[in-house]
Amino acid sequence: MWMEETIGTKVNDERSQELINTGASRIATACPFCYVMIDDGVKAQGFEEDEIKVADISIHLIEALEATEAQRQSDPDNQENAVNTD
């Protein structure tokens, strides 16, 4: 499907290693090609999805919103999470 590099380090391995070195547990991408490239690179480094999650930025956003909503529903008395109806 794509042309493979034959000299030096593969681009996806190099970029993935740079991202892993940041210590991030989540990596967001914005295009399908970047997702495949980075996901393959992270897996090639031996990381599973529960260690470093690579996904489209919209997936990370949805998960963050769902986690916030679940937290809000589990602690309705928390004023920090209260919705102002004024």
pTM: 0.73
How far apart are alpha carbons 56 and 10 in whole angstroms? 22
Residue 2 has pLDDT above 80, yes or no: no
Q: Which two tokens stand for residue 60?
A: 């990370």
Q: What is the pLDDT of residues 33-60, one digit of tens each?
A: 999 999 999 999 999 999 999 999 999 9
Q: How far apart are the first and last CA of the chain?
A: 56
Among 11-15, 22-26, 55-59, 60-64, the range scoring the smallest mean pLDDT is 11-15
Give the helix/strand (H/E) hosting 29.
strand 26-29
Which helix (H) or strand (E) segment is 53 a member of? strand 53-56
Structure tokens at 39: 């996901």
* pLDDT of 81 higher than 90: no
Domains of the chain by residue range: 11-75
Enumerate the H helices of the chain as residue ranges. Answer: 11-20, 32-44, 57-74
